[in-house]
Amino acid sequence: MSVSVFFDGNDLSDLIGVAEGYNAFDTAEWDNRTQTVGNGNGAVFTGRTHGIKVVPMPFYIKNDVKNKYDKLLKFLNVSEPKKLTFGNVVNRCYYAVPDGKIEFETLGENAGRGKITWIVPSGVSESIETKTVPVQLVNGILTANIDYAGSADAFPVFRVKHNDENGYIGAVSSSGTALELGNRGELDTTKLSEAVTIVDTTTFSEFKQYTGVNPENLRKGNTGTSGIVKEGDTNYWRLNNAGADNGYWHGSSYVFDFPADGTGHVGSKNVYSYFNAVFWAGAMGQTADMQVLFLDSKNQVVMGYDIYKVDTVGNQGVLAMLAGDGKGGVNVLRNEVFTTSHLESQNFFNKPRGDSDIRKNGGNITFYYRGEYPNFYVPELKDIEITKCMINQYQYGDRSGIKLMSYFDFRRLFIVNNDAKYIFDIKNRYEKKSNIVIDNGSAEIFKNGLPKNNELIDGSKFISLKPGQNKIEFYASSWVKSKPTITVEYRERWL
């Protein structure tokens, strides 16, 4: 017979010729399993397997028998199955090893004959060529439709190239087998909270003029203006025009609107603010009112300070700690009377000092006064969010000139949103441009060339192709913006 033979990359045809009796087409032996049930006749079929494939190959050697025989045995001396091909079996190979004794007899110096018995442990032949099927998007699902022409199951290789971050890979075959990697519930982003300083100012340029009603007291007029006056290197936010005389408190109002956090939300239940202010009378009988108010989205007072002096004769001022009632009303939680002189022992809003703060933590409102932190629990405010800060400066009626307080100025103010949300980008396990190889034949998984079988989700099974039509659907994390590029590679196998 004129049949070429290659084994482990070596052309055996240079050494031997294939003789009569060679047969590469016998199948492996089938092993049918049955089980008798009770006392009934016959048996129940429980399954079927096949054993190894045996390929008998009688051969002969012509000329230079000794050297050719020695070289032949050298090529056959392998420690594991190697690729075996025959010229009459087109585009197929076997992974085989010689088995048993190599029977050989010489027929003189220039001829000999013998027999090699090849065994194929897998029991099948395989295609030499690898077929590649690109996975297509069908009705929104990555799908591979494969018309498999082999007679034995094939074990494909899935190659996954990520075009975006991803946390999960799933593959489901039409035969019902499912394989999953990663984490079905892995998120791409999550919302986290952090304390964010949303304004820190000495110029108050972030505050915009407001001419509407004062939510603490509707009678107070807001038609005036304030601006920066510098004393040395320090800015003083000062009333420079008290506006129209309404016979009551009138002056300026400015509002800072809270910016949206990283999720687009405006407002917070948990806010801290520090401010530095001067409230100091340079003469007896001066009057003024300055306010720091924190408002909700309805322009209702949530908390604040009202520092005022209505004493038109002496030097007595009042610090009022305010909180809203959740319905638009305002309650005074505590009043502190102090002397508006230059002495630190009498006035902690004198020029050298003036530090104060206020905090909302849910329903707890905490103020500052002379080294103490009075705290009040206002349950109505527990879930109320602050969305803006208002600063007001007023004079009473027609009391102008020397009758206006010498200093009732802001020098610095900052606000911290203690519950600012932001979107945190999770670094997912399958980053963009990462490559995953799933070898269903060897049951091995690689990410960027490194073994990753620990990524398998419990219950997964490697997928095989069945003779005939096969459909495999692939899934990624639901939030993936650009689905991965996937190919299916396989070699056909025959019994």
> What's the average model confidence in pLDDT over 181-185?
93
**Banded pLDDT at 51 (limits 50, 70, 90):** confident
- CA dihedral in degrees (366, 368, 373, 374; nearest 10)? -60
What SS3 state is found at 261? coil
Query: What is the rounded CA–CA span in Å between residue 410 and residue 295?
Result: 19
> What's the average model confidence in pLDDT over 346-350?
95
Neighbours of 65 (CB within 10 A): 19
Q: Give pLDDT, residue 191.
A: 80
Query: What is the rounded CA–CA span in Å between residue 456 and residue 182?
Result: 7
> Are 287 and 403 within 8 A, CB to CB?
yes
pLDDT top residue among 371 and 410:
410
Q: Give pLDDT, residue 40.
A: 66
Strands (E), 267-329: 270-280, 288-295, 301-309, 316-324
Query: What is the rounded CA–CA span in Å between residue 276 and residue 407?
Result: 12
Strands 234-241 and 225-231: antiparallel
Q: What percent of the chain is modeled with pLDDT above 70? A: 99
Mean pLDDT of the residues in the chain: 94
CA distances from 361 to 80, 186, 300, 301, 377 (A): 72, 32, 18, 15, 10
**Banded pLDDT at 188 (limits 50, 70, 90):** confident
Q: What percent of the chain is modeled with pLDDT above 90? A: 88
> Are 253 and 405 within 8 A, CB to CB?
no
Q: Give pLDDT, residue 1.
A: 62
Query: What is the rounded CA–CA span in Å between residue 402 and residue 245?
Result: 17
Query: What is the rounded CA–CA span in Å between residue 279 and residue 269?
Result: 29
Q: Give pLDDT, residue 473.
A: 98
pLDDT digits (tens, 9 = 90+) for 230-278: 999 999 999 999 999 999 999 999 999 999 999 899 999 999 999 999 9
CA distances from 178 to 254, 398, 406, 461, 473 (A): 63, 84, 80, 6, 10
**Banded pLDDT at 193 (limits 50, 70, 90):** confident
Contacts of 295 (CB under 8 A, 6+ apart): 215, 301, 302, 386, 387, 388, 389, 390
> Are 427 and 190 within 8 A, CB to CB?
no
Query: What is the rounded CA–CA span in Å between residue 13 and residue 401?
Result: 119
**Window from 3-17, 103-117, 123-137, 454-468 with minimum mean pLDDT:** 103-117
CA quadruple 109, 113, 119, 124: dihedral sign: positive
For residue 381, pLDDT over 80 is answered with yes
Query: What is the rounded CA–CA span in Å between residue 324 and residue 369?
Result: 20
Question: In sequence order, what DSSP letters do the residues of 102-126 get, joined into one string?
Answer: EEEEE-STTEEEEEEEEEETTSSEE
3-state helix, strand, coil in the chain (%, to 5): 5, 55, 40
Question: In sequence order, what DSSP letters do the residues of 354-396 get, joined into one string?
Answer: -EEEEEEETTEEEE-BTTB--EEE-GGGTTPPB-EEEEEEEEE
**Window from 105-114, 169-178, 440-449 with minimum mean pLDDT:** 105-114
pLDDT digits (tens, 9 = 90+) for 159-169: 999 999 999 99
pLDDT digits (tens, 9 = 90+) for 304-328: 999 999 999 999 999 999 999 999 9
pLDDT digits (tens, 9 = 90+) for 388-428: 999 999 999 999 899 999 999 999 999 999 999 887 888 89
- Tokens for 290? 């300055």
Going by C-alpha positions, the residue among 6, 112, 116 that lies closest to residue 61 is 112
> Are 470 and 174 within 8 A, CB to CB?
yes
Query: What is the rounded CA–CA span in Å between residue 492 and residue 465?
Result: 9
Domains of the chain, with CATH numbers?
A: 5-123 (2.40.30.200), 131-185+430-494 (2.60.120.860), 193-424 (2.60.120.200)
Q: Give pLDDT, residue 37.
A: 74
Q: Give pLDDT, residue 435.
A: 97
